[in-house]
C-alpha cells in the first residue's frame, strides 16, 4: 500500500489504535468514530493531530461539528463499486467546511482517482507499483469538466462565457 | 441540432484516449476483468452471448444524416454490416472486438458521438420525445434541457458509482412519447399562467422485476434550477439507495421504502442546501444551447390536406401509410414521417449499413439532414414537406421502410433476447417475427387500430413488456422457452402496468393467443374509436382470459 | 454427463471452447469432452489459468450431447452461443 498526498508519495504519520486499547499518550492518531467520540474532549485539549476513519455506513454528519479539530478524515471504499464516499466527500468539503486531509482508503483503484480528486479527496491509499505515475495519469487525463463538483476546476458551462 | 464546441470535442477526445490506455492495459494483462468491467461498461462496451456489444448514445434520439452515415461505416468496418436501435434511442453493434473499440470511439468522435455512460451504474443517455421541436402538440422543446442534463451527467465524478443505473426521460408535449412515467426521473415540461416553461418532476418509475410508475415529487421547478434539483435527487439516492441487493438497488425501491413524502423531504432539504449556487444554469449558456435548437429554415407553406386526401384515394397503400406513419408537424405544409423498422418477418429495430446510408440520403433530400430515433425502435424524418410525401413514400417502399404500421399491432418493441443477450431467458425476436407474419393484412391492422405489443426476453424488461398494451415476457421453464402475456399496460401520460393474463405459452401458441385477444377486443369494443386499451380498461381481463385459455381454468406447466 | 469448457476470447469476445491440445476453438466440435468430475475440475483449472493469462474471460463448464459424432450443447442458451443467433441478422 502506498500513500499519495497532494500528488506525492508520502509517509502516513498517523497510527491507528487497536480496539479496546487505551488512548495512547502521544502522537498523531487515526481513530475510529467511536474512539473519537470517547476521547474527543481530551484530544481537543491536547491539540495533537487527530484523524478519523469512517466506515462506509458512517455518515460524515457525525463529524460536522468537529471538522476544525481534525487534520485527517479517511473515507472507506468497501468495494470500488460503492460510490457513497464520493457524496460523503462533497458534503465534508462543501457543507461541513472540512479543509484537512481527505483520504480515500479501501478498494481504491487508480482509474478512480480523478473522480475522487474531483469531489475533494487529496490523499489516496493505493496498491500500485508506481503510484505517482498512476496518479498523474489519472488526474492529468482530462482538461475539460462539465459540472462543478467542489474542486477548483471551472466547468465548461462557465468557461464558455468567460 | 447541438454541435460540439472546442470543450465538447476536447472532452470526448480525452475520453477516447483514456479508454485506449485502459484497453491496452487490459490486453496486456495489467487489469483483471473484474477491474476492467466497470471501465468498459462506462464506455458502452458489454460482453454479450457471442461477442462484445458496443452501445452508442444517440443523445435524446437526435441524429444527423452525417452521423448515420458514420454509423453505417462503423457497422461495415468493425461489425457485421448492421446495427440495432434500442428502446433507449441508442444503437448497438453486436460483433465488435475489444481491440477495435478505441478506434470505433475515435471514429464516432469525428461526428460528435460517443458511448460514454451508455452502461454502468451511472446516469445513462437522456431520452426524449422523438418528435421534440416538431410536434404540433408540443408545449416546449425539451432538447435544450436534455443537452444541459447530458453535459451535467457526463463524467460526473460524484455519481459514477450509483447503487444502480439511472435513466432520465424528458417530454415537452402533453402526449407522452418518451415514457417518462417509467424512468428513474421523468421530466414533463409545462407552462405557467404567463407562458413561462417549467418542469414537473416524476421520480421512482421503472420497469424490470419490480415495475413502478413514477410519482410526481414536484409539480414545478424553474428550468434554470433543474440541474440542482436533479443533483439533490441523485445525492439522496447515492447515499441511501440499497447496495446489498442488485434487484433492490434502483431508486424506485428507495422511494417506495421511504414513501414519496419522506423522500421529497430529504430531496428538498438537499436542494435547499445547494440552490442558487454553481448548478444554476447561466442564462448565457441556456441561450447558447437554445440557438442550436432554433427551428430550421422552414419554407412558408400551407397544409395540403385536400391534395393528400386525393392522392390517398388514388393510392390506398399511400393512404394507409399516411394514416399511420405520418404525424402532424408544427410548421404548416410540413409533416413528421416515421420509418418503420418492423417490416413483416424482420428483426425489430435492426438496420443494415446499406439501408442506413440510403436513409441518410433521404434525410438530406427530404428532411433538412436530420433524423430521430424513437424508443419504439423506429426512425423519423422530422421535417418533410407534405408535397414531397408521395415521392418519399415511393422511395421508402423500395427500401422496405414504409410498412404502414406505426402505432399498430405489428409495430412491436422487441429486445435482443436470447439470440444475443447474455441475461435472456427466451428469444424475443422470433416471437415478434411470428406475430408480424401472422398479421400482414393492412386493413386488418388499421381496423384494430392503436395497439402496442412489447416483448422482453427476461425480467429486466428492456422490451418494456410491462407497459405494452399487450406485453410478452420470455421465461425459462426447465430449459424450455415460454411466454407470459400481460394486458393493459401503457407508457403514455396515463401510464399503467399490464396485468398478467395467465400461464406462459410456448412460442408456437403466441400468435394464436394474440389473435384471440384481438378478436375479443373487436367483438367487445363499443365503437371503432374505442381503442384496445380503452376497451380493456372498460371490460377487464376476464373475456380475454376465456378467449385464450377457455372457460375452465387450465393448468399448464409454466 | 459429458461436459466441455467454454469462455469468451478476451480480444474479440468470440465464444470459444477448450480443445484437447489446450487451445481455444470457436468450433464446439473441437472441444475436449470430459465425463467425470475429476476431469471436469482439471478443465476448470486450465480455464482459470487461461483467464489469469488474459486469453479468455469467464470460463465455465457446459453440458453437451453427442449425436452421430457431432457435439450439441444441451441447454438452448449454450446451443445459441455455439451456433450464433437463430435469426437472420443483418439482412434488412
Ligand atoms: S429484457 Fe432481458 S433478454 Fe431482453 S435485452 Fe434486456 S436483459 Fe436481455
B318 and B376 assigned to the same domain? yes
Contacts of B47 in chain C (CB under 8 A): 8, 13, 57-58
Q: What is the mean pLDDT of chain B?
A: 96
pLDDT for the residue numbered B558 = 47
Percent of chain B with pLDDT over 70: 99
In this complex, how many residue pairs, one in chain B and one in chain C, have their CB atoms less than 8 Å apart?
A: 89
C-contacting chains (≥3 CB pairs under 8 Å) = B
pLDDT for the residue numbered B554 = 52
Q: By alpha-carbon position, which residue is closest to atom 2 of ligand 1?
A: B458
pLDDT tens-place string over residues A101-112:
999 999 999 999
Distance B122 CA to ligand 1 centre (A): 19
Work out the pLDDT band at C89, boundaries 50, 70, 90. confident
Summarize the confidence of residues B361-370 as an average pLDDT. Answer: 98
Report if residue B179 sits inside a domain. yes
B336 and B271 assigned to the same domain? no
Structural contact between residues B168 and B149, judged by C-beta atoms closer than 8 angstroms: yes
For helices B143-153 and B283-292, the axis angle rounded to 10 degrees is 120
B433 and B379 assigned to the same domain? no
B235 and B360 assigned to the same domain? no
pLDDT for the residue numbered B131 = 97
B358 and B486 assigned to the same domain? no
For chain C, helix, strand, coil in percent to 5 are: 30, 35, 35
Note whether C76 contacts B481, CB cutoff 8 Å: yes
Q: Between B98, B347, B480, which is nearest C87 by CB?
A: B347
Report if residue B555 sits inside a domain. no
Contacts of B159 in chain A (CB under 8 A): 83, 86
* pLDDT for residue B153 is more than 80: yes
Interface pTM, i.e. ipTM: 0.97
How far, in Å, CA of B30 to CA of B46, rounded?
Answer: 19
Spell out which residues line ligand 1, taking CB within 6 angstroms: B 415-417, 421, 423-424, 456-458, 460-463
Summarize the confidence of residues B129-149 as an average pLDDT. Answer: 96
Ligand 1 atom nearest B456 alpha carbon: 1
Report if residue B300 sits inside a domain. no
pLDDT tens-place string over residues B112-131:
999 999 999 999 999 999 99
C-alpha to C-alpha distances, C30 to C12, C14, C18, C69, nearest whole angstrom? 19, 15, 8, 11
Structural contact between residues A42 and A26, judged by C-beta atoms closer than 8 angstroms: no
B266 and B150 assigned to the same domain? yes
B24 and B159 assigned to the same domain? no
Ligand 1 atom nearest B424 alpha carbon: 3
B471 and B500 assigned to the same domain? yes
pLDDT tens-place string over residues B156-201:
999 999 999 999 999 999 999 999 999 999 999 999 999 999 999 9
Final residue in a domain of this structure, among B266, B292, B318: B292
More confident residue, C89 or B149: B149
Q: How many domains does chain B have?
A: 4
pLDDT tens-place string over residues B477-533:
999 999 999 999 999 999 999 999 999 999 999 999 999 999 999 999 999 999 999
* pLDDT for residue B552 is more than 70: no
* pLDDT for residue B553 is more than 60: no
Instruction: Count CA within 13 A, CB hemisphere, residue A129.
Output: 1
| Domain that includes residue B369, residue range | 305-398
Note whether A149 contacts B156, CB cutoff 8 Å: yes
pLDDT tens-place string over residues B1-44:
999 999 999 999 999 999 999 999 999 999 999 989 999 999 99
pLDDT tens-place string over residues B310-364:
999 999 999 999 999 999 999 999 999 999 999 999 999 999 999 999 999 999 9
Q: Between C57, C81, C88, which is nearest B49 by CB?
A: C81
- Give me the CATH number covering residue A20: 3.20.20.70
Percent of chain B with pLDDT over 90: 98
B419 and B539 assigned to the same domain? yes
* pLDDT for residue B555 is more than 70: no
Q: How many domains does chain A have?
A: 1
| Domain that includes residue A32, residue range | 2-160
Contacts of B49 in chain C (CB under 8 A): 15, 77, 80-81
Structural contact between residues A149 and A119, judged by C-beta atoms closer than 8 angstroms: yes
C-alpha to C-alpha distances, B49 to B549, C6, C7, C79, nearest whole angstrom? 35, 12, 10, 11
pLDDT tens-place string over residues B42-51:
999 999 999 9
Report if residue B232 sits inside a domain. yes
- Is the Cα torsion angle B442, B447, B450, B455 positive or negative in sign? negative
Question: What is the pTM (predicted TM-score) of this model?
Answer: 0.95
B193 and B335 assigned to the same domain? no
Weakest-pLDDT range from A138-142, B95-99, B405-409: A138-142
Own/partner contacts of B396-400, CB < 8 Å, gap of 24 or more, are B396/B339, B396/B362, B397/B317, B399/B355, B399/B358, B399/B359, B400/B343, B400/B346, B400/C92
Q: Helical H runs in B331-439?
A: 353-366, 389-398, 429-438
pLDDT tens-place string over residues A28-61:
999 999 999 999 999 999 999 999 999 999 999 9
End-to-end CA distance of chain A: 42
B531 and B506 assigned to the same domain? yes
B281 and B430 assigned to the same domain? no
- Give me the CATH number covering residue B428: 3.30.413.10
- Is the Cα torsion angle A52, A56, A62, A67 positive or negative in sign? positive
Summarize the confidence of residues B426-442 as an average pLDDT. Answer: 95
Amino acid at each position: 500500500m502506498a500513500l499519495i498526498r497532494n500528488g506525492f508519495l508520502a509517509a502516513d504519520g498517523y497510527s491507528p489504535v487497536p480496539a479496546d486499547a487505551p488512548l495512547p499518550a502521544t502522537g498523531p492518531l487515526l481513530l475510529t468514530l467511536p474512539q473519537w467520540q470517547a476521547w474527543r474532549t481530551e484530544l481537543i485539549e491536547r491539540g495533537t493531530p487527530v484523524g478519523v476513519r469512517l466506515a462506509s455506513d458512517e455518515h460524515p454528519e457525525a463529524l460536522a461539528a468537529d471538522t476544525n479539530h481534525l487534520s485527517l478524515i479517511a473515507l472507506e471504499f468497501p468495494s470500488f463499486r460503492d460510490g457513497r464516499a464520493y457524496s460523503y466527500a462533497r458534503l465534508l468539503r462543501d457543507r461541513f467546511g472540512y479543509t484537512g486531509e481527505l483520504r480515500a482508503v479501501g478498494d481504491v483503484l487508480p482509474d478512480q482517482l480523478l473522480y475522487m480528486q474531483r469531489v475533494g479527496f487529496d490523499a489516496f491509499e493505493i496498491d500500485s507499483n508506481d503510484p505517482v505515475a498512476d496518479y498523474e495519469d489519472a488526474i492529468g487525463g482530462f482538461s475539460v469538466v462539465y459540472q462543478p463538483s467542489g474542486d477548483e476546476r471551472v466547468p465548461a458551462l462557465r468557461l464558455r462565457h468567460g | 441540432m447541438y454541435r460540439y464546441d472546442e470543450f465538447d470535442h476536447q472532452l470526448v477526445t480525452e475520453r477516447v484516449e483514456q479508454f485506449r490506455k485502459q484497453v491496452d492495459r487490459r490486453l496486456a494483462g495489467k487489469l483483471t476483468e473484474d477491474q476492467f468491467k466497470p471501465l468498459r461498461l462506462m464506455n458502452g462496451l458489454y460482453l454479450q452471448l457471442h461477442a462484445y456489444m458496443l452501445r452508442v448514445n444517440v443523445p435524446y434520439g437526435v441524429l444527423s444524416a452525417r452521423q448515420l452515415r458514420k454509423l453505417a461505416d462503423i457497422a461495415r468496418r468493425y461489425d457485421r454490416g448492421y446495427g440495432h436501435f434500442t428502446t433507449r434511442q441508442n444503437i448497438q453493434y453486436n460483433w465488435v472486438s475489444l481491440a477495435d473499440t478505441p478506434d470505433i470511439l475515435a471514429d464516432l468522435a469525428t461526428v460528435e458521438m460517443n458511448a460514454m455512460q451508455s452502461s454502468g451504474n451511472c446516469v445513462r443517455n437522456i431520452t426524449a420525445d422523438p418528435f421534440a421541436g416538431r410536434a404540433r402538440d408540443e408545449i416546449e422543446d425539451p432538447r435544450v434541457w436534455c443537452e444541459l442534463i447530458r453535459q451535467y451527467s457526463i463524467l460526473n465524478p460524484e455519481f459514477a458509482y450509483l447503487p444502480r443505473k439511472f435513466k432520465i426521460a424528458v417530454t415537452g408535449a402533453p402526449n407522452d412519447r418518451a415514457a417518462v412515467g417509467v424512468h428513474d426521473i421523468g421530466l414533463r415540461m409545462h407552462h405557467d399562467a404567463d407562458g413561462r416553461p417549467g418542469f414537473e418532476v416524476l421520480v421512482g418509475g421503472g420497469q424490470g422485476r419490480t415495475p413502478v410508475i413514477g410519482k410526481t415529487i414536484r409539480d414545478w421547478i424553474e428550468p434554470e434550477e433543474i440541474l440542482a434539483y436533479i443533483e439533490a435527487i441523485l445525492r439522496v439516492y447515492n447515499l441511501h439507495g440499497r447496495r446489498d441487493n442488485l434487484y433492490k438497488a434502483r431508486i424506485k425501491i428507495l422511494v417506495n421504502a421511504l414513501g414519496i413524502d419522506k423522500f421529497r423531504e430529504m430531496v428538498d432539504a438537499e436542494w435547499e442546501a445547494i440552490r442558487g449556487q454553481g448548478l444554476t444554469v447561466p442564462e448565457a449558456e441556456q441561450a447558447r444551447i437554445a440557438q442550436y435548437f432554433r427551428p430550421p429554415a422552414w419554407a412558408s407553406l400551407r397544409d395540403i390536406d385536400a391534395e393528400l386526401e386525393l392522392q390517398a384515394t388514388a393510392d390506398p397503400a399511400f393512404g394507409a401509410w399516411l394514416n399511420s406513419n405520418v404525424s402532424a408537424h408544427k410548421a404548416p405544409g410540413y409533416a413528421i414521417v416515421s420509418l418503420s423498422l418492423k417490416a413483416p418477418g424482420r428483426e425489430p429495430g435492426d438496420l443494415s449499413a446499406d439501408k442506413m446510408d440510403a436513409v441518410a440520403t433521404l434525410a438530406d433530400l427530404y428532411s433538412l439532414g436530420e433524423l430521430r430515433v424513437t424508443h419504439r425502435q423506429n426512425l423519423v424524418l422530422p421535417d418533410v414537406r407534405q408535397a414531397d410525401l408521395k415521392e418519399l413514400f415511393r422511395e421508402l417502399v423500395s427500401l422496405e421502410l414504409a410498412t404502414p404500421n406505426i402505432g399498430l399491432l405489428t409495430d412491436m418493441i422487441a429486445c435482443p433476447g436470447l439470440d444475443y443477450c447474455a441475461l435472456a431467458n427466451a428469444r424475443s425476436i422470433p416471437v415478434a417475427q411470428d406475430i408480424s407474419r401472422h398479421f400482414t393484412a393492412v386493413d386488418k391492422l388499421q381496423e384494430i387500430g392503436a395497439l402496442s405489443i412489447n416483448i422482453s426476453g427476461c425480467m429486466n424488461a428492456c422490451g418494456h413488456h410491462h407497459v405494452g398494451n399487450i406485453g410478452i415476457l420470455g421465461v425459462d421453464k426447465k430449459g424450455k422457452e415460454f411466454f407470459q402475456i400481460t394486458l393493459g399496460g401503457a407508457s403514455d401520460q396515463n401510464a399503467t402496468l399490464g396485468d398478467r393474463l395467465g400461464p406462459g405459452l410456448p412460442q408456437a401458441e403466441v400468435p394464436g393467443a394474440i389473435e384471440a385477444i384481438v378478436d375479443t377486443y373487436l367483438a367487445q369494443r363499443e365503437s371503432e374509436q374505442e381503442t384496445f386499451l380503452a376497451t380493456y380498461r372498460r371490460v377487464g381481463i376476464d373475456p380475454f382470459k376465456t378467449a385464450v385459455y377457455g372457460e375452465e381454468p387450465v393448468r399448464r406447466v409454466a | 454427463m459429458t461436459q466441455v469448457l467454454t469462455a469468451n476470447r478476451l480480444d474479440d469476445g468470440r465464444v470459444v471452447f477448450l480443445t484437447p491440445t489446450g487451445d481455444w476453438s470457436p468450433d464446439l466440435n473441437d472441444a475436449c469432452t470430459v465425463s467425470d468430475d475429476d476431469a471436469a475440475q482439471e478443465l476448470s483449472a486450465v480455464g482459470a489459468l487461461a483467464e489469469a493469462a488474459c486469453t479468455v474471460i469467464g470460463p465455465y463448464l457446459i453440458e453437451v450431447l453427442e449425436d452421430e459424432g457431432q457435439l450439441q450443447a444441451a441447454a438452448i442458451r449454450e446451443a445459441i452461443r455455439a451456433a450464433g443467433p437463430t435469426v437472420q441478422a443483418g439482412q434488412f
